[in-house]
Amino acid sequence: MARTGPTKVARRTLFALLALIIVCIITIGAGVLSGATSWAPKLGLDLEGGTEMILTPKAEGTTSISADQLNQAVSIIRQRVDGSGVSEAQITTEGGKNVVVQMPGTPTQQERDLITASANMNFRAVIVSSNAPAGAVAKTALTPADQLSTFVAANVLTPNPDPTAKPANGSDPNWITAALMTQYEETSCIAPVTELPTNSDPAKPIVACESDTGAKYILGPVEIPGKWIKTASYGLQPGAQGVTTNTWAVQLTLISPEGSNAFKAVTQRLNAKYLANPNDPQSRFAIVLDDNVVSAPASQAVITDGQSSITGNFTEASAKALADQLKFGALPISFTIQSTETISATLGLQQLEMGLLAGLIGLALVVIYSLFQYRALGFVTILSLVIAGGLTYLAIVLLGWTENYRLSLAGVAGIIVSIGQTADSFIVYFERVRDELRDGRGLAAAVDNGWHRAKRTILASKAVNILASLVLYFVSVGNVKGFAFTLGLTAVADLIVVFMFTHPMLLLLARTKFFGEGHHFSGLDPRQLGAIPLYRGAGRFRSPEDTLAVATGKNARAAGEAERRQTIAERRLAAKEAEMVGSRGTGAVKPKSGDDAKESK
């Protein structure tokens, strides 16, 4: 058979789908060989079991914690946990006093620290630093020290000789008192590290350490509280020409007008210091979490819109960690882990078995219906479902590896529900093709025309499904997120399969003898579908009488299809014929021919 244009396109599309599947398999295989992942998806708390931690809250500057504060704590902790992926942790309050966190698997120390850390995030100006940056900072960029060099500022390291002098701003050395200087000199930020307070007065200066570098600081009072942080994210930093570089950066946005106005005033002062001396520690400000310095960048320009980018020697992991700390650091409550307990998943596994059984029954019913309704064409539906299921499985494994996604029982329910929605796309397509066959077109033309009609319906249907999944995902919490996520994921997989497998496969099958000539068991037999060719040979075209003959023929199924597809003229003719036949039966109309006379007798 000659390779026509459509067959070439169909084969290329099928090879592209095959390449996509192979790439996913090779990627996962590489992760398995390196020990980073496995062939099985990560499971959620209800299917794998995990760890239960009971957290005791501790509010800054108060002896009691209100219900609103505790609910806010639950919300922020949920954001912190879900920030690393759809882990579907269960976070609730207990007795109105404690917070119970149930997480799948065993949480790492970093996850524990993120959960228990206070949201006492704020920005303080640097007055004194034992180290100063060797590099500078760009406009809309805040750069931590790439390499730190010792910087001794003798004129600053002396206590304020006039304790009554009022500091002019957050960077003013007049904040330094004799007691603060003594504390600074006695503090060690390298092993053995001096233990420092974690909840100090925001209106007073403090001594703080940067654990990553061992740098020691005297910081001014809080100038920008964490509650003014609107959002934070991380990504690759664009270069001067707009081309993405290999440098990781953290993007920070403050709320307007409070945050942006305050940030403008601070960067204006710091930038003046930077222009005079790039190594001046007072050109920097510290991002402080629980009185520990997370980063201490310098401002290279005045930032007026509250949007900046922190760059430096970040890895992807460290950039993400800083972004999470900034984004989820606006909670005035810290926690201590009161108890930790391992929980099992026995009940969840039993429910999973029942869910999988229900899914298999549903899949079997779809298969039976497809084979009964579409005969051999039903095998295309079955293969499409298998490929869609395979793509969904590979995506879940990859997301579990890269995004810490965990499959829960609710997620399994989303996959089971999607079986019917996936089969619906194939049914829409096949029925459009069969409609074209009933109009008398050949199979190749019917496939082309049917696809143009069906794909609009399929795209509209899947757009609604994906939109509903997104809305459900972002407005819900807990297990409902898992249901919404898998529902949207399978909708995307369905689109890939319909466009890259089902349609190309039907294009190729339309050019085979079995399907192209309308074999009785192909599911595309024009005679079974009640089709009448528009041109019937010898100068004859399809007429209303021809359609009526089929509609009153012996093939009840074909007659039914033909009757439903009659035009208005054909329906009127059929009604007129029925009226005449009825009149003859009652003797109201005299027959005009001998045959009619015999019939009337």
Co-location of 554 and 577 in the same domain: yes
Amino acid at 539: G
**Residue 468's domain is classified under what CATH number?**
1.20.1640.10
The pLDDT score that the predictor gives to residue 305 is 85
Tell me the C-alpha distance between 303 and 139, whole Å. 7
* DSSP states along 183-231: HHHH--SSSSPPP--SS--TTS-EEEEETTTTEEEEEEEEEEEGGGEEE
Read off the pLDDT band of 271 (50, 70, 90).
confident
Q: Is the model more confident about 165 or about 362? A: 362
Q: Is the pLDDT assigned to residue 23 strictly greater than 80?
A: yes
Q: With 50 as the cut, is the pLDDT of residue 132 above it? A: no
Spatial distance between the Cα atoms of 601 and 592, rounded to a whole number of angstroms:
13
Q: Which amino acid is at 437?
A: L
d(CA 27, CA 546): 59
Two tokens, residue 488: 């949207």
Residue 84: pLDDT band (50, 70, 90) is: low
Percent of the chain with pLDDT over 70: 74
Residue 386 — pLDDT band, cuts 50, 70, 90?
very high
Residues 449 and 396 in one domain: yes
- Tracing tokens 């002896």 back to the chain, one arrives at 63
Question: Taking residues 15-19, what's their average pLDDT?
Answer: 95
Residue 335 lies in a domain: no
Higher pLDDT, 244 or 259: 259
Asked whether residue 526 is assigned to any structural domain, the reply reads: no
**Whether residues 391 and 274 fall in one domain:** no
Which of the pair, 166 or 243, is modelled with greater confidence? 166
Burial profile 126-162: b = 16 or more Cβ within 10 angstroms, e = fewer? bbbbbbbbeebbeebbbbbbeebeeeebeeeeeebee
* Candidate from 275-284, 429-438, 464-473, 586-595 with smallest mean pLDDT: 586-595
| Cβ-contact 410, 476 below 8 angstroms | no
Task: Tell me, yes or no, whether 154 and 278 share the same domain.
Answer: yes
- The angle that helices 67-82 and 109-116 make with each other, rounded to 10 degrees, is 150
Residues 6+ apart with CB under 8 A from 76: 119, 328, 330, 331
Q: Residue 198: is its pLDDT beyond 90?
A: no
296 and 350, same domain (yes or no): no
360, two tokens: 């298999």
More confident residue, 260 or 49: 260
Tell me which of 227 and 582 has the higher pLDDT.
Answer: 227
- Identify the weakest region by mean pLDDT among 188-192, 348-352, 433-437: 348-352
Whole-number Å distance between alpha carbons of 170 and 174 = 10
Task: Provide the 10 A C-beta neighbour count for residue 561.
Answer: 19
Does residue 153 belong to any structural domain of this protein?
A: yes
291: nearest Cα among 217, 182, 191, 181: 217
Least confident of 76-85, 105-114, 284-293, 544-553: 544-553
Question: CA 387 to CA 351: how far, in whole Å?
Answer: 26
Q: State residue 525's pLDDT score.
A: 73
Closest CA to 93 of 112, 70, 68: 70
109 and 199 together in one domain = no
Cα pseudo-dihedral 241, 244, 246, 250, rounded to 10: 100
Among 185-194, 223-232, 526-535, where is mean pLDDT lowest? 526-535
Range of the structural domain that residue 248 is part of: 121-330
Quickly count: other Cβ atoms within 10 Å of residue 357's Cβ: 10
Is residue 599 situated within a structural domain?
no
Q: How far is CA 516 from CA 61, 348, 380, 512, in A?
A: 80, 50, 15, 5
Residue 155 scores a pLDDT above 50: no
Query: Is the residue at 529 inside a domain?
Result: no
Last residue of some domain: 73, 94, 117?
117
Token code pair at residue 149: 């060099």
Q: Read off the CATH number of the domain in which 55 is found.
A: 3.30.70.3400
The predicted pLDDT at position 82 comes to 66
pLDDT for res 520: 78
| DSSP H or E run through 129 | strand 121-129
- The answer to the question of residue 368 being in a domain is yes
pLDDT in the model for residue 280: 87
Mean pLDDT of the chain: 77
Residue 160 one-letter amino acid: N
Shared-domain flag, residues 36 and 64: no
Q: Exposed, middle or buried: residue 257 (CB in 10 Å: 0-12, 13-18, 19+)?
A: exposed
Question: Cα–Cα distance between 384 and 422 in angstroms, integer?
Answer: 9
Domain check: are 78 and 213 in the same one? Answer: no
pLDDT at 265 over 70: yes
Q: What is the mean pLDDT of residues 108-128?
A: 78
- The answer, yes or no, to whether residue 540 has pLDDT greater than 60, is no
pLDDT at position 533 over 70: no
Last residue of a domain, one of 330, 362, 386: 330
Q: Are residues 37 and 81 in the same domain?
A: no
**Which residues lie below 8 Å from residue 221, measured CB to CB, with a gap of 6+?**
124, 170, 175, 202, 203, 204, 205
- Report whether pLDDT(352) > 70: yes
What are the structure tokens assigned to 359, written together?
């899914």
Is it the case that residue 557 has pLDDT exceeding 80?
no
pLDDT for 416 beyond 70: yes
Mean pLDDT of 334-356: 75
Length of the chain: 601
Q: Is residue 488 part of a domain?
A: yes
Tell me whether residue 110 is in a domain.
Answer: yes
Residues 157 and 273 in one domain: yes
Locate 59 and state its tokens.
Answer: 């509010």
Average pLDDT estimate for 151-178: 66
Q: 275 and 368 share a domain?
A: no
Q: 61: pLDDT confidence band, cut at 50, 70 and 90?
A: low
Q: How many structural domains comprise the chain?
A: 4
Question: Given pLDDT bands bounded at 50, 70 and 90, which one contains residue 94?
Answer: confident
Neighbours of 541 (CB within 10 A): 10
Higher-pLDDT residue of 92 and 534 is 92
CB 326 within 8 A of CB 122: no
Question: Do 278 and 136 sit in the same domain of this protein?
Answer: yes
* Region 361-389 average pLDDT: 88
